[in-house]
């Protein structure tokens, strides 16, 4: 697949720039750690062997080359997103009070590399090319998931916890479903901005949606519908004031209906999502973890440290819920545990600023439909999944790229 690249203020060898978007798409796919999961599954292990980390060496080499080549742009992009950089800096500083300082430092370095790649996507590619690069990564993930699910079902499908549900290149059906829900919106956006490849992207969008269904993840299905719905609303708003009024009315009515169901009949909603009133045990985790936030309210236990020591505070959470929970299943609670109220406030301010920029971009032809759809899905997932500030997490990688790209656009308009 040939991906066109955006003009950039640097002189690079034509042979490198021609293949650079393809290399970026491959690196993006690797940041989801698909080979790690498949390798672990094939060996019947929960974690991949240590040597699997060697697979990231080419990715980091590519990123180092790109940052050195575009160092002025890299610095400008980092300056355009001070809250993102503040969150990253807080992760590193939390090593000073972490209950597992070594793990916090390692994960902070991995997070920095992951966010560096997100910033690279923002400064290097315009919106159209960015969608094509992201879509290129998803072609690899979609093809790999179908291959494992069909040809190696013992690896590509779950056998114990949810027998028969597809997990694709990962170890759990919800991971496949969540990533493919993101792929549905990305392929739809690429089809809109790239008419010359519209048939390809429509086919990939349907393939991603098929994997959402095969994963049996109801949250992923909801996220897929939400993303497409936001894109449809954006297209409607662009048609004029009357259509904008209709779209606003539909949103208000929908919000009232959902709020009424949540208040009056929550059991109907959770039943429709295939869950129970504990949200598949999430509320138990939240309740057991919340009291530890009270113990370290301002700075937390250190980035990524709360769940690591076997005899640490996480022991009591696992004892309360009676299973080996490894995350808070909430970006907000996870941030509070790792970075305290300071981290939660920083993340909230950054997310609100990005959502504002995304909403303002609705009328723009380049990012107007896809960016708000992605941000809506990301905001939804922060409630029930620990995607924020996670190293080697596709949602966070793309969020950093979108947030930085929107910030760069805003800065460019102010200086125009």
Q: Is pLDDT above 50 for 9?
A: no
C-alpha distance across the termini of the chain, in Å: 35
Task: Judge whether 155 and 38 are in contact, CB under 8 Å.
Answer: yes
Which residues, 6+ apart, have CB-to-CB distance to 408 below 8 Å?
Answer: 76, 77, 80, 122, 123
Query: In this predicted model, what pLDDT tens digit does every residue of 180-197 receive, in sequence order?
Result: 999 999 999 999 888 899
Q: Is pLDDT above 50 for 408?
A: yes
Is the Cα torsion angle 47, 50, 55, 56 positive or negative in sign? positive
Query: In this predicted model, what pLDDT tens digit does every residue of 264-323 receive, in sequence order?
Result: 445 555 555 555 444 556 788 888 888 899 889 999 999 999 998 778 898 888 888 887
Residue-level pLDDT at 257: 53
Which strand (E) or helix (H) includes residue 200?
helix 198-215
**Unique residue bearing structure tokens 């690249």:** 5
Residue-level pLDDT at 180: 94
Residue-level pLDDT at 288: 85
Query: In this predicted model, what pLDDT tens digit does every residue of 63-118 receive, in sequence order?
Result: 999 999 999 999 999 999 999 999 999 999 999 999 999 999 999 999 999 999 99
Query: In this predicted model, what pLDDT tens digit does every residue of 12-23 receive, in sequence order?
Result: 434 447 789 999
What pLDDT band is residue 1 in, cutting at 50, 70 and 90?
very low
What pLDDT band is residue 352 in, cutting at 50, 70 and 90?
very high
Q: Is pLDDT above 80 for 44?
A: no
Residue-level pLDDT at 5: 41
Q: How many CB atoms lie within 10 A of CB 206?
A: 11
Task: Judge whether 343 and 334 are in contact, CB under 8 Å.
Answer: no
Mean pLDDT along residues 207-234 = 87
**Position with higher pLDDT, 263 vs 17:** 17
What rounded mean pLDDT belongs to the chain?
83
What pLDDT band is residue 6 in, cutting at 50, 70 and 90?
very low
Can you give the pTM of this predicted structure? 0.88
Residue-level pLDDT at 196: 92
Residue-level pLDDT at 399: 96
User: For the chain, what are the domain ranges?
Assistant: 13-46+54-69+127-236, 74-124+278-416, 239-274
Task: Judge whether 220 and 273 are in contact, CB under 8 Å.
Answer: no
Which strand (E) or helix (H) includes residue 272?
helix 266-272
Percent of the chain with pLDDT over 90: 46
Mean pLDDT along residues 340-361 = 93
Residue-level pLDDT at 248: 58
């Amino acid at each position: 697949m040939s991906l066109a690249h955006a003009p950039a203020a640097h002189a690079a060898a034509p042979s490198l720039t021609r293949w650079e978007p393809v290399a970026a798409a491959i690196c993006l796919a690797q940041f989801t750690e698909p080979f790690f999961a498949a390798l672990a599954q094939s060996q019947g292990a929960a974690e991949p062997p240590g040597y699997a980390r060697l697979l990231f060496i080419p990715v980091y080499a590519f990123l180092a080359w790109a940052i050195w080549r575009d160092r002025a742009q890299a610095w400008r992009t980092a300056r355009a997103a001070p809250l993102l950089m503040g969150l990253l800096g807080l992760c590193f500083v939390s090593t000073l009070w972490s209950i597992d300082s070594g793990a916090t430092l390692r994960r902070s370095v991995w997070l920095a590399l992951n966010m560096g790649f997100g910033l690279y996507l923002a400064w290097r590619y315009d919106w159209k090319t960015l969608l094509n690069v992201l879509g290129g990564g998803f072609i690899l993930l979609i093809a790999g998931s179908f291959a494992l699910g069909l040809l190696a079902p013992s690896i590509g499908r779950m056998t114990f916890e949810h027998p028969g549900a597809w997990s694709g290149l990962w170890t759990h059906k919800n991971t496949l479903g969540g990533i493919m829900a993101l792929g549905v919106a990305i392929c739809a956006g690429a089809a809109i901005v790239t008419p010359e490849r519209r048939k390809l992207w429509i086919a990939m969008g349907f393939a991603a949606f098929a994997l959402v269904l095969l994963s049996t993840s109801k949250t992923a299905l909801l996220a897929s519908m939400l993303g497409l719905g936001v894109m449809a609303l954006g297209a409607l708003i662009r048609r004029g004031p009357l259509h904008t009024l209709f779209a606003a009315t539909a949103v208000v009515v929908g919000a009232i209906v959902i709020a009424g169901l949540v208040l009056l009949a929550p059991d109907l909603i959770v039943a429709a999502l295939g869950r129970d009133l504990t949200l598949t045990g999430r509320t138990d985790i939240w309740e057991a973890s919340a009291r530890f936030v009270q113990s370290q309210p301002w700075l937390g236990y250190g980035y990524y440290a709360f769940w690591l020591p076997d005899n640490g505070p996480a022991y009591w959470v696992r004892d309360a819920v009676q299973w080996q929970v490894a995350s808070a299943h909430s970006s907000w609670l996870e941030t509070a545990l790792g970075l305290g109220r300071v981290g939660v406030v920083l993340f909230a301010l950054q997310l609100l600023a990005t959502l504002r920029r995304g909403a303002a971009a609705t009328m723009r032809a380049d990012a107007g439909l896809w960016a708000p759809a992605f941000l809506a899905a990301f905001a939804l997932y922060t409630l029930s999944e620990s995607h924020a500030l996670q190293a080697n997490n596709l949602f966070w990688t793309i969020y950093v790229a979108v947030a930085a790209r929107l910030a760069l656009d805003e800065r460019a308009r102010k200086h125009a």
